[in-house]
Structure 1
Amino acid sequence: MAYNMDRKTFFKVFAVLLANTGITPAFAANLNVENNASLKISEGPYLLSMDGGKVCVVFMTNKRAVASVEVFSPDDKNFSQNKIFFDSSPTGRKHIGTLHAVWLENLAAGNTYSYKIEVKEVLEYWETYKGAKYGATKFGDILKCDTYPNGSNPLIFKTPSDKNPEMSFIVINDIHQTPKTVQQLLQPKNLSNADFILLNGDMVNTFQNEELIFKGFMRAVSDAAHGNIPIFYARGNHECRGKYSEAFLDYFPTKTGKPYYAFMRAGTFFLVLDMGEDKPDSSAECGGITDFDSYQKEESNWLEKIVASKEFKTAKRRIAISHIPPFELGESPYNRAIGNRFRKILDKANLNLMICAHWHERFVVKSGERFPKSKLDIKVKYPIIINGKKDALKVKIDDSSLSFAFINEKGGYTEWVDLNKLK
């Protein structure tokens, strides 16, 4: 028996079937459209992974569309006339969907850039409707946006200068989908003079669906950054769980195409590590669908090459970021082996500081001290700051010093501590 089904009904049925399979490519997110609403930017934009003359602009639309970002800078002769960058797929076609990630490239250091987003709704394109002329596309609404959607802030960013030795940044972690905490910790006075925001993992309980990603934390983060302040993300163990865990990099792209990567800022080399799950692949929680053992071997090989590089060795400072401290990952010998694998490399890397999370309470461990809570008798070889669940960590760096303070949900600061006192 044959059934006739209109396009709208087909996509609704297909979305249900797709959800039940657990398959979550970026295309699945593209089914979340508002057919009867006006075209709008529904989430973001937010800036990710700004480094080496590149930054990624990520945003969502409520309808399937093609997207571009137009960039201008009076400071950069290469951008004195507007340049346009497209949200393109790896196959050479412009991406048609609701989730958009546009990489801006060839940006000069220390310059200010303004950007404008343009999205064009795609109603039909020639492959999808009967009787279409070859190459014909049916477009709908067009939207241009040069201010952050929830306010009047112009879409502007500044690239870091190679010559400026000063910077500050703010770290939050273990939010576990409590957006109110994000709003409290990232209030404007805490973001004053912040060069970037670092999300150090476990921002959700599970990476289960798109709505949870934005309602749980990212909408609040994006609104705080209002399209101006760059964001870096270190994946936690809870981001490794849920139907959308495989789509993590669709929402949070990196230069390496992996959740681990590195970047430079104000003469400081940052290592962003990914310890993956805090349970072995054989555990019931992992359900037989993970292979973090192979993944972390690959990451440790990458890490060895990075710490051996001239850029890393000659940096003024070296800071490692990891959601889970690499000292004791759970109770199993397997997880301890993972910690040992990374620690052997990091112990020889001449780190100035490591910033971690995961424990939901804050600790400061001086170089030479025994690592707290660990059943292993290990003395750390570099200072470690573990930020709490309801704290923000603010770090300031200048030519001769690094200092930090914790900020609570009410905006209260602890005393600033000089890193030299932790040696």
Structure 2
Amino acid sequence: MQDDKPVLGRRGFLGTFAKAGILSAAGLAPAVKSLAAASVAPEAHAFLCPPYLQNPAPTAMTLMWLSNKPSYSWIEYGETAELGLKAHHSQAGIVDSYNRIYRIRLEHLQPGTTYYYKVFSKEIAEFRPYKLTYGGTISSELFSFTTPEEDPEQVSWLVMNDIHDRPASIPHLVSLSKEPYDFVFFNGDIFDYQEDEKQIIDHLLTPAAQAFASQKPFIFTRGNHETRGKFRRELPDYFDHPWFFAKTWGPVHFTVLDTGEDKEDTHPVYAGIVDFDEYRRQQAEWFKQVAQTKAFKKAKFRVVMMHIPVYHSGDWHGPMECQKLFGPLFQQHKIDLFLAGHTHRYVVHQPVEGKHAYPVVIGGGPKEGARTIMHVKADQKNLKLVMLKDDGSEVGRVELKSRR
């Protein structure tokens, strides 16, 4: 994380003393001493964001959070507010510690059960080969979450896309939907580009956690803007799932794909360091395997979510590659619903003969008056999607009957 406070290297350190000598002659040395003291004052140990939930399962849930100092961290949890259980993460006999990004998966949970929890981080002030010195311990407030049922009769979720570094949009849009939901899906371009850790914390993790994510999990997939910027490689560290994956939740089989960039790999802005054509091709081959699974074939509804629409998104290179690679596969394997963003124009495209035998729903853009949130609910027979604009008015609806 980029620290807002100045960090003095050797030259800066010596330069400060040189300036102090000059200012001393002018009678200004006390002010310089105060400035120097302030710049090296120790920072209090603190959480950088509230805990947020990831990767839900009937018998497991991942909790993540960050602090500003290397720590040993753990979770205390239980089926009552008294807690009573403790978990940390270890691998190959070594407990995760002396880090600032914490990822702990609670396992052996009971399906459909509410758990209470608090997270703890104990600062590691000094870490020598044979001497470890702890600092203070900080703890969160008490939160709770509920695990999914083992085989639920229904599932519901919210979908947001194209927030583009406007963090206030997250709690505002979530507040518009009055229906219950199991998780939230961020369908790409939540950021303009990846600059540093502070941006991820301030523009996604904190507003999401304050709005819902300490009690309800979220899933995040990249848009084309998340592939840009010097911090793009670090972005996966803040989530507990791959960029593309398949998951069944009750009557719905979800396929999440990562559509990559919207321009040619050879475009000058990428400076020769992207390879999204091959990446999309690999995902198309992977989807062919997913479509042969029992979970996909037996699902009451097959839903695909990805940032760039497979149709109705212009003729740039990325959208056309998505259309060429994925369009025939989605048609062949009879998906039921497709959710996307990218165009900044909210719309529901009904099935088009010869192209897509399923609705293509595209969420809105980042500006006030164009922002949208979708609420989707499916049971064993019906799926219903309602898309709301940021003033709460309905701007799209899909109602489907299961074909299986």
Same structural fold, with TM-score higher than 0.5 when normalized by the shorter chain: yes
Counterparts of 1:17-416 in structure 2, within 5 Å, are: 36-51=42-57, 53-73=59-79, 82-86=85-89, 88=90, 92-127=94-129, 134=130, 136-145=131-140, 147=141, 154-187=142-175, 190=177, 192-254=179-241, 258-327=242-311, 331=315, 336-369=320-353, 379-389=355-365, 390-414=371-395
CA distance in 2 between counterparts of 1:12 and 1:168 reads 57
% identical aligned pairs: 27
Q: Report if the CA contact (8 A) 2:164-2:189 is conserved.
A: yes
Shift in Å at residue 320 of structure 1?
Answer: 0.6
Contact 2:161 2:188 in 1 (8 A): yes
Does the CA-based 8 Å contact 2:193-2:226 persist in structure 1? yes
Residues 64-109 of structure 1: CA deviation (Å, up to 9, x unaligned): 21211233237xxxxx9624132x5689451422222222223332
Q: Residues of 2 paired with 1:83 and 1:280: CA distance?
A: 49
State the structure with more CA Rg: 2
Instruction: Report the alpha carbon displacement of residue 420 of structure 1 after superposing the two structures with TM.
Output: 4.7
Normalized against structure 1, the TM-score is what?
Answer: 0.78
Judging changes above 3 Å, is the alpha-carbon distance between structure 1 residues 229 and 307 closer, same or farther for their aligned structure 2 residues?
A: same
Provide the rounded CA distance (Å) in 2 between the counterparts of 1:191 and 1:47: 21
Q: Structure 1 residues 328 and 164 mapped into 2: Cα distance closer, same or farther (>3 Å)?
A: closer
Question: d(CA) in 1 for partners of 2:316 and 2:395?
Answer: 36
Report the Cα distance in structure 2 between the residues aligned to 1:412 and 1:12, rounded to whole angstroms. Answer: 59
Q: Deviations over 1:120-169 (max 9, x none)?
A: 10111114xxxxxx2x1011011232x2xxxxxx3111111134322321
Distance 1:37 1:224 in 2: 27
5+ long unaligned stretches in structure 2: 1-6, 13-39, 366-370
SS at match of 1:43: strand
Q: How far is the alpha carbon of 1:267 from its aligned partner?
A: 2.1
The answer (yes or no) to whether the contact 1:328–1:339 under 8 Å persists in 2 is: no
Greater fraction of residues in strand:
2
| CA–CA distance in structure 2, aligned partners of residues 402 and 335 of structure 1 | 27
Question: What amino acid does structure 1 have at the position aligned with 2:227?
Answer: C
Q: Is the 8 A contact 1:46 1:226 kept in 2?
A: yes
Q: Distance in 2 between matches of 1:85 and 1:143?
A: 15
Q: Determine helix, strand or coil for the equivalent of 1:245.
A: coil
Which residue number corresponds to residue 26 of structure 2? none
Q: Secondary structure at the match of 1:69?
A: strand
- Cα deviations by residue, 1:299-355 (Å, 9 ceiling, x for unpaired): 222222111111111112111101111247764667634431222322222211111
Whether the 8 Å contact between 1:278 and 1:330 is mirrored in structure 2 is: no
Confirm or deny: 8 A CA contact 1:279 1:286 kept in the other structure.
no
Q: How many residue pairs end up in the alignment?
A: 363
Name the amino acid aligned to 1:171. Answer: V
List runs of 5+ in structure 1 lacking aligned partners: 1-7, 14-33, 75-79, 128-133, 148-153, 370-377
Q: Do the aligned partners of 1:184 and 1:410 also contact (CA within 8 Å) in 2?
A: no
TM-score under structure 2 length normalisation: 0.82
Q: Deviation per CA, 1:207-237, whole angstroms, max 9, x where unpaired?
A: 1111222223332122111500110112111
Asked if the contact 2:189–2:223 (Cα under 8 Å) also holds between the matched residues in 1, the reply is yes
CA contact (8 A) 2:52 2:214 kept: yes
CA contact 2:187–2:223 (8 Å) conserved in 1: yes
Residue 419 of structure 1 aligns to a residue whose secondary structure is: strand
SS of 2:199 mapped into structure 1? helix
CA spacing shift, 1:300–1:104, aligned 2, 3 Å: farther
2:33 corresponds to which residue? none
